[in-house]
Structure 1
Amino acid sequence: MDKESNRDEGQAGPVLTRRGFLGVAAAATAATAGFAAGARAATPGKDAKGDGGVLEVAIIGAGLAGLTAARDLQRSGCDSFIVLEARNRVGGRTLNHDLGKGYFTEAGGQWIGPGQTAIADLARELGVGTFPNLWQGKMSMVSGGACARIESKGGFDTDPRLTHELEEMAKLVPSGAPWKSPRAAEFDAMSLGEWLAKKNIPPEEQIGWATGIALSGGTAPARLSLLHWLSMINSADNIYERLEAVKEGAQETRISGGSQILSIKMAQALGDKVRLNWPVLRIENWQDGPVAIHTPNGVIRARNVIVALSPPLCNQITFDPPLPPRRREMQRRWPSFAPARKTAHVYKKAFWRDKGLNGWIFQPKGPVLWAYDNSPEDASFGVINAFVNVSALPSDPKAAEVELSRIYAQALGDEALHPVAYYDHDWGKADRWTLTCISPMPPGFLTTYGEALHPPAGRLIWSGTETADIWAGYMDGAVRSGHKAALNALHAMNERRA
């Protein structure tokens, strides 16, 4: 593998979220080219139109949610739909770096775990395999010039007494509608940081809490609503470790071929129904329909529209007439300050494994939030991925590579100074179509605006992982929201024909 340094700015095949990885067959790899790299410039011709040139359903967004909805419509027998995607690729917040020879590493969401049955079922139906995420071995804690190595238990070692207390509180917070909790006002009035500050957590244990919360919640505990955090625990069957851990947790399993392969395979099956480079600029007549969807490539008309976008992305669309005030204000104020940046160092071999290390690196004060082994299942070479602190790492990819290599060498050995390839994806700079990878809800937001998240507006059906009843914010939540949106669209079609 030749030495290279990439900074994928929305390029094909090219990070966050804590949410795997194996080579796919050569034929499958070749077949991804049209959706991972090429851009369609098709017009809404004969295959796009329904009766009178009006489609039954238009879907905006070709991420996991939008493509799942489209797949469900197709499987139900509905052929009068189209998927419009602003980017030149499918996958949304899942994105693969192509390492060559059928191998990939993820730049975005990548893991699944217990209870995330929707995405596990989807992978199985698409013929995509999974394999375990590595956690066994010693992890490295780097601070200043020192490095401590600690045997990993597969999680972030939080206090069982406090996690049990959070689990009991989470029983009162329905994940799909936390604002309906009998204690919603109380829990949403404080941050998770304020709650933890009252628990006198020893300094050495605060690192585990802060790291786990930052990775799952997208921000520091001080900026995260306690109500929101409890709703996330509720999603995980009220098992805190299931939310945070690799072992028996939401980060337990990786997806063969990289997580973007799920969207690529769905798009391949949908064929010309998926239109890339079709940003939606304006939506008219959404109250009664047919809805007019204006794009640079022409106008699409549909009786119902599934908007499979992150709420703040809806602000980039002009709605005529304007959306209901509460929905409009919710979108405007939606927290979108956690775009995240994720890197990948590729090595000739996973040399750290020979030393009994699992590749996990934590740096309490520095650019590395969490680095981890993301090598292929066959371990034919080594990969260290990392979630990094954007403000503590040089923006220049080459300088960032050198800085991270130095830190990895301190944790894993001098072999880490010599990667054969480096990949760097900053979601905050990559493209205008991904404003945030995680939605870290601040105190007061859910009780003020939460009720505007789900209800349809006229012929508009809201979808996307943020609208999921469980595992909102995860890939599994995106798939669940897609299933739900398709059912709602089919119900609307049946009502019209009744």
Structure 2
Amino acid sequence: MKSDNDKQPHRARRRFLVRALGGGALAGGLALAGRATATTARLGENLLRTADTDVVDVAIIGAGLAGLTSARDLQRAGCESFVVLEARDRVGGRTYNHELGDGVVSEAGGQWIGPGQTAIADLARQLEVDTFDQYYQGKTVYLAGDARYAEESGNGGASVSHHIASKLNDMARSVPGDAPWTAPNAAELDSMTVGEWLQQQGVSKEDKIGFNMSTTLTFGSSPASLSLLHFLSIINTSDCSIEQLEGIKDGAQETRFVGGSQILCTRMAEDLGDKLKLSCPVRKIVGWDQDIVEVHTDQGVIRARQVITALNPALCNQFTYSPALPSGRAQLQANWPAHAPMRKTVHVYPRPFWRDKGLNGQVMQLDGPVIWSYDNSPPDGSVGVINAFIKPGQLTHDARQAESVLTDIYALALGEEARHPTQFHDHDWGKVDSWSLTCIHPIPPGFWTRWGRFLRPSTGRLIWSGTETADIWPGAMDGAVRSGHRAAFQALQALTQVGRNT
């Protein structure tokens, strides 16, 4: 039995955590103390750390939006006993900026936010990151071989017939975005692909093309291999509106960040100092069922009371666990779809010349490598930037050849000025490193009803985070921020519970 003197650090920890949890309220529902309270709390934290200085309260794996949000929340709560472990040599996770010069950037990963994505909008305001509207005004160009057709883009997104959209929106109302496997008819919906459902509706050829493009962009999969249950759950998180999910105007692609989306992570990382460890991949997690967890990295072993894994579930499966994870969680990770890494290219021009022609820079190619291109120019239009999502396996990875192929496509679609780019960038998330595997999660039929319930519950001292675990907007940057808030709150609650039990 511990003596009263032995219990003093734990009592100090409990007092510190209770203050942190109850001292105030910030975005994401996480109760945090103000600076005065936080300063007092740090004194308690310094007191309790004298008992075991080589153990941190929280180890956070991953320095993307989710992990850094958790770190920021812990720090603002007054908790300084944490570390952030990042495998890459940079922060940002699945956000990454191409630096184009003169302060202009182009995003290689996630980049848009829209209505309802309040968590990331709040974070940007707190970090003093401005936003601006995605450019979409003008005509979109459709290419089929050498044939070219241009039409006004409407809301800027993929066009879906009103009849089909209304059906999907109505069906989505009964599929909870945070737990689709609990829907009343989950088994039926999860036994069917989106493609099979569309076939039953007798959709037009044009609608089939539109759905193929939109699901490939949003989910990384064609309708033929995407669970209808999953599709409806994502529509549910978008206010039960596929138009909002896929659109630019009043949609999820409406707004961009000045300085690129990665700037959110770089600004959060500025206050971490030596608490952030880059080029520090995790290899093994030992004792997740014990009071102290050992996290084995390429830079040594970190000992922690709680571990937040702010990663795609497929990446969590790259670790060795001792003891082995419970079967349900282990199977979820092992079977998580990791075949949608995505690839984006960038063409830079002296100016956005296509705007003068009444074009919006969007090109949709029915039988070539371009899924969708769009105007990614800076707010002032000082240079012209065309980004494109590329179909897997349909464009060489030789930079010069890839640039040439795409330049010919843009010349046909946008005009001969497209033949003179000043820069070209290519980012294939499946090839740049081994720490992405997949950018989005194309959930197949049968997955959610079998494994979904294992996605969020903690496993011992392991707290599962990352955008895939978000209750709202899973897969989006907003979902990553929400999951980061939740994970920090869980960690503080768990640490408080330890204080009660000692």
Normalising by structure 2, we get a TM-score of 0.89
Aligned to 1:301: 303
1:395 aligns to 2:400 (yes or no): no
The answer for unaligned runs of 5 or more in structure 1 is 1-45
Aligned to 2:138: 137
Aligned to 1:348: 350
Among residues 220, 229, 238, which one is paired with 1:218 in the alignment? 220
Aligned to 1:97: 98
Q: What pairs with 1:365-380 in structure 2 (closer than 5 Å)?
A: 365-380=367-382
1:383 aligns to 2:363 (yes or no): no
Distance across 1 between alignment mates of 2:283 and 2:143 = 47
1:75 aligns to 2:76 (yes or no): yes
State the shift of 1:420 in Å: 0.3
Aligned to 1:258: 260
Distance across 1 between alignment mates of 2:477 and 2:214 = 18
Distance across 2 between alignment mates of 1:109 and 1:245 = 16
Q: Spell out, residue by residue over 1:173-213, the C-alpha distance to the aligned partner (whole angstroms, 9 max, x if none).
A: 11111001111000000000000111111112322221111
Distance across 2 between alignment mates of 1:202 and 1:464 = 37
2:90 is matched by which residue type in structure 1?
R
Aligned to 1:147: 148
2:86 is matched by which residue type in structure 1?
E
- Where 1:429 maps in the other structure, the secondary structure is coil
Q: What pairs with 1:250-289 in structure 2 (closer than 5 Å)?
A: 250-289=252-291
1:108 aligns to 2:109 (yes or no): yes
1:472 is matched by which residue type in structure 2?
P
Aligned to 2:471: 469
Aligned to 1:88: 89
- Whether contact under 8 Å (1:341, 1:387) holds in the other structure is yes
Distance across 2 between alignment mates of 1:411 and 1:354 = 14
- Name the larger-Rg structure: 2
1:451 aligns to 2:453 (yes or no): yes
Among residues 481, 487, 490, which one is paired with 2:489 in the alignment? 487
Distance across 2 between alignment mates of 1:101 and 1:135 = 24
Normalising by structure 1, we get a TM-score of 0.89
State the shift of 1:50 in Å: 6.9
State the shift of 1:346 in Å: 0.2
1:193 is matched by which residue type in structure 2?
G
Distance across 2 between alignment mates of 1:289 and 1:105 = 44
Instruction: Indicate the percent of aligned positions where both proteins have the same amino acid.
Output: 57
- Where 1:430 maps in the other structure, the secondary structure is coil
Aligned to 1:414: 416
Q: Spell out, residue by residue over 1:93-115, the C-alpha distance to the aligned partner (whole angstroms, 9 max, x if none).
A: 00000111111000000000000
State the shift of 1:160 in Å: 1.0
- Where 1:457 maps in the other structure, the secondary structure is coil
Distance across 2 between alignment mates of 1:95 and 1:465 = 16
Distance across 1 between alignment mates of 2:309 and 2:430 = 22
Aligned to 1:321: 323
State the shift of 1:390 in Å: 2.5
Distance across 1 between alignment mates of 2:50 and 2:355 = 57
- Where 1:386 maps in the other structure, the secondary structure is strand
Q: What pairs with 1:38-57 in structure 2 (closer than 5 Å)?
A: 51-52=51-52, 53-57=54-58
Change (3 A) 1:50 1:473: farther
Flag as ranges the 4+ runs of structure 1 deviating above 4 A: none
Distance across 1 between alignment mates of 2:465 and 2:174 = 25
Distance across 2 between alignment mates of 1:291 and 1:444 = 34
Change (3 A) 1:470 1:146: same
RMSD: 1.0
2:396 is matched by which residue type in structure 1?
P
Q: Which moved more, 1:387-396 or 1:117-126?
A: 387-396
Distance across 2 between alignment mates of 1:423 and 1:164 = 39
Q: Spell out, residue by residue over 1:337-393, the C-alpha distance to the aligned partner (whole angstroms, 9 max, x if none).
A: 000110000001100001010000000111000000000001011000000112111
- Where 1:197 maps in the other structure, the secondary structure is helix
Distance across 2 between alignment mates of 1:185 and 1:472 = 21
- Where 2:407 maps in the other structure, the secondary structure is helix
Q: Spell out, residue by residue over 1:265-304, the C-alpha distance to the aligned partner (whole angstroms, 9 max, x if none).
A: 0001222211101111111110022001111211110100
Among residues 326, 330, 336, which one is paired with 2:332 in the alignment? 330
Distance across 2 between alignment mates of 1:162 and 1:101 = 45
Change (3 A) 1:104 1:50: farther
Distance across 1 between alignment mates of 2:424 and 2:447 = 38
2:389 is matched by which residue type in structure 1?
F
Q: What pairs with 1:165-204 in structure 2 (closer than 5 Å)?
A: 165-204=167-206
- Where 1:153 maps in the other structure, the secondary structure is coil
1:387 is matched by which residue type in structure 2?
F
